[in-house]
Amino acid sequence: MSVYIPDKDRYNGVMKYRRCGKSGIVLPEISLGLWHNFGENAGFATCREMIHFAFDNGITHFDLANNYGPSPGAAEEMFGRILKDSVLLPREEILITTKAGHDMWSGPYGTGSSRKMLMTSIDQSLKRMNQEYVDIFYSHRYDGVTPVEETMQALVDIVKSGKALYIGISKYPLEEARIAYDYLKAHDVPCLVYQGRYNMFSREPEDGIIEQASENGSGFVAFSPLAQGLLSDRYLHGIPADSRISKPDGFLKKEQLTDQVIDQIRSLTAVAQKRGQTLAEMALAWVLRDSKVTSVIIGASSIAQLKANLKGAEKLSFGKEELMIIDDIVKPVRPEIK
């Protein structure tokens, strides 16, 4: 076992923290997600190094879900092993998030947002991570069938049982989110945070979701701020062999990298260069420019990417003209990015 000694100066670094809605909790402007790159194909030492590097640079919020892998559950197991192996990575200094709602185990109860699914899943997640509680437990999605009240009551009970400190909702449509906020408020477990896909290509949260979260005293965290890597220089010169598109389990597909998207990436890169930024930095800054966004949850396959992305929390102001130019570039076709 390696003894990990955290760098106590890290909070004096560049990381800034934003209050999550009207709660007492702050999140780092940049959080790290373990959707890809922390599964059973990833090396333990590399993953541990990335988590330690993130923590040393003020990233105190780690976002997981029951199904992150491959295979489902592997990322939680990896994170649990890292925490166990890092005896001085203080549990009280980090926020651990997990979720349930997507396909997890076989049979009719291993997917969706039923009480059965959520109650079983939180226990499995805690076991995999070797934790007594998570900081935030999310309903990963509205499944289109389960009454929102059933899902929310399960979340309330999970908090009341001490297995999670706060709860959140992810990808809920406006109307279902409204029912969720109201139900949770009425049951004294207000929704801490809404998690939605938000980047220069994917703009759905602008149609009321961010505003609604804010009106309900909830934070908003943006996932896939780099559109899974498209909003960077990753695919400017072809498809690298070690990239998400090349990996069989990656959620970004070759078909999404059309000529038009490559043109858009090139044009956005030119705007970023004028601002003295890389495209990845500008993409993160663009999301963080809105003070209602509490944090961006990035993914990374290397320490170099993590390091580069920390700069995304700089230069957050955009001129009106810059924003219009960006909108004009992405408007004609916004790629369908999952």
Give the interface with ligand NAP as residue ranges (CB under 6 A).
Answer: 33-37, 63, 140, 170-171, 195, 223-229, 232-234, 243-244, 280, 297-301, 305, 308-309
Residue pair 166/110 in contact by the 8 Å Cβ criterion: no
> Which residues in 72-82 are b (16+ Cβ under 10 Å) and which e?
bbbbbbbbbbb
- Residue 142 C-beta: closest distance to ligand NAP, Å: 11
- Residue 205 C-beta: closest distance to ligand NAP, Å: 12
For ligand NAP, the closer of residues 224 and 294 by Cβ is: 224
Both tokens of 38, joined, read: 């922390």
For ligand NAP, the closer of residues 264 and 309 by Cβ is: 309
- Residue 46 C-beta: closest distance to ligand NAP, Å: 13
The packing angle between helices 148-160 and 174-186, to 10°, is 40
CA neighbours closer than 13 Å in the CB half-sphere of residue 40: 7
For ligand NAP, the closer of residues 2 and 245 by Cβ is: 245
- Residue 322 C-beta: closest distance to ligand NAP, Å: 20
For ligand NAP, the closer of residues 35 and 181 by Cβ is: 35
- Residue 108 C-beta: closest distance to ligand NAP, Å: 22
Count CB neighbours of 328 within 10 A.
Answer: 10
Residue pair 98/64 in contact by the 8 Å Cβ criterion: yes
How far from the centroid of its chain's Cα atoms is residue 331's Cα?
Answer: 24
Identify the CA nearest to 140 among candidates 63, 62, 217, 237. 63
Question: Cα(40)–Cα(78) distance, rounded to whole angstroms?
Answer: 8
For ligand NAP, the closer of residues 48 and 234 by Cβ is: 234
Both tokens of 143, joined, read: 């499944």
- Residue 295 C-beta: closest distance to ligand NAP, Å: 10
Q: What angle do CA 195, 201, 203 make, to 5 degrees?
A: 50
Burial (0-12, 13-18, 19+ Cβ within 10 Å), 115: middle
For ligand NAP, the closer of residues 73 and 225 by Cβ is: 225
- Residue 162 C-beta: closest distance to ligand NAP, Å: 24
For ligand NAP, the closer of residues 137 and 186 by Cβ is: 137
